[in-house]
Structure 1
Amino acid sequence: MNLILEQIDRVFSAPDSLKFVSGLMVLWGISNLITLQFTTAPYGRYTRPGWGYLMPAKLAWFLQELPSFVVPLIILSRWRSDELVNIHGNNKILIGCFLVHYFHRTFIFPLRIRGGKPIPLFPFMAAVFFCSVNGALQTYGILLPNTEIHHWFQKARFCLGIILFFTGMYINIRSDSLLTSLRREKEGTYQTPRGFLFEYVSGANFLGEIVEWIGFSVACYNLPSLAFAVFTLCNIGPRAFHHHRFYREKFDDYPKDRKALIPFLF
Structure 2
Amino acid sequence: MTVLLSFIFPPPPSLVVSSMSVISLVSLANAGLSEIRGKHLNYSKFWNANPTAQKQIKLSSKAGMLLLYTPAFLAGLASFWIFPHQGLRSTMLQSAVTFHFFKRVFEVLFIHKYSGNMLLDSAIPITLSYFLSTVTMIYAQHLTLGLPEPPNNLLYPGIVMFVVGIIGNFYHHCLLSKLRGKGEKEYKIPKGGLFGLVICPHYLFEIIVFYGIAFISQTLYAFSFAIGTTFYLLGRSYSSRKWYHSKFKDFPKNVKAVIPFVI
CA gap 1:177/1:148 in 2 versus in 1, 3 angstroms? farther
Q: 1:239 to 1:221 in 2, by over 3 A?
A: same
Matched, 1:38 2:42: no
**Structure 2 match to 1:5:** none
Matches within 5 A, 1:107-118: 107-118=106-117
2:57 alignment counterpart: 53
Higher mean C-alpha displacement, 197-206 vs 161-170: 161-170
The residue that corresponds to 1:93 in the other structure is: 92
- Tell me which residue corresponds to 2:132: 133
Percent identity between the two aligned chains: 21
Q: CA deviation at 1:122?
A: 0.3
Residues of 2 paired with 1:163 and 1:110: CA distance?
27
Taking a change above 3 Å as real, the CA distance of residues 163 and 96 of structure 1, as seen in their structure-2 partners, is: same
8 Å contact from structure 1 (residues 63, 106) kept in 2: no
Q: Which residue of 2 aligns with 1:142?
A: 141
222, 242, 247: which is aligned to 2:239?
A: 242
Deviation at 1:33, TM superposition (A): 2.4
SS at match of 2:195: helix
Residue 191, structure 1, aligned to residue 188, structure 2: yes
Contact 1:142/1:220 (CA < 8 Å) preserved in 2? yes
TM superposition shift of 1:191: 1.0
- The answer for the alignment partner of 1:174 in structure 2 is 171
More helix by share: 1
Q: TM-score, normalised by structure 1?
A: 0.85
- 2:125 is equivalent to residue 121 of structure 1: no
Cα RMSD, aligned residues only:
2.2
| Structure 2: distance between partners of 1:112 and 1:209 | 17
TM-score w.r.t. the length of structure 2 is 0.86
Spell out, residue by residue over 1:193-212, the C-alpha distance to the aligned partner (whole angstroms, 9 max, x if none): 11111111001111110111
Instruction: List per-residue Cα deviations over 1:50-107 (Å, max 9, x = no partner).
Output: 352110111111122111111233344335xxxx23x111221111011111111123
8 Å Cα contact 1:172-1:206 kept in structure 2: yes
Equivalent residue, structure 2, for 1:6 = none
Q: Take 1:135 and 1:152, find their aligned partners in 2: how far apart are those partners?
A: 25
Deviates more, 1:162-171 or 1:193-202: 162-171
Moved more, 100-109 or 174-183: 100-109
In structure 2, the CA distance between the partners of 1:185 and 1:100, relative to structure 1 (3 Å rule), is same
On the 8 A contact 2:234/2:257 being kept in 1, the answer is no
Q: Shift in Å at residue 185 of structure 1?
A: 6.4
Give distance in 1, aligned partners of 2:143 and 2:42: 37
Cα pair 1:240 1:261 within 8 Å, conserved: yes
Provide the rounded CA distance (Å) in 1 between the counterparts of 2:43 and 2:96. Answer: 27
2: distance between equivalents of 1:207 and 1:247? Answer: 17
1:250-265 matched pairs, under 5 angstroms: 250-265=247-262
Q: Which amino acid aligns with 1:60?
A: G
Of residues 89-98 and 243-252 in structure 1, the stretch that sits farther from structure 2 once superposed is 243-252
Q: What residue ranges of structure 2 are gaps of 5+ in the alignment?
A: 1-11
What amino acid maps onto 1:182 in structure 2?
L
Report the 3-state secondary structure (helix = DSSP H, G, I; strand = E; otherwise coil) of the residue aligned with 1:187.
coil
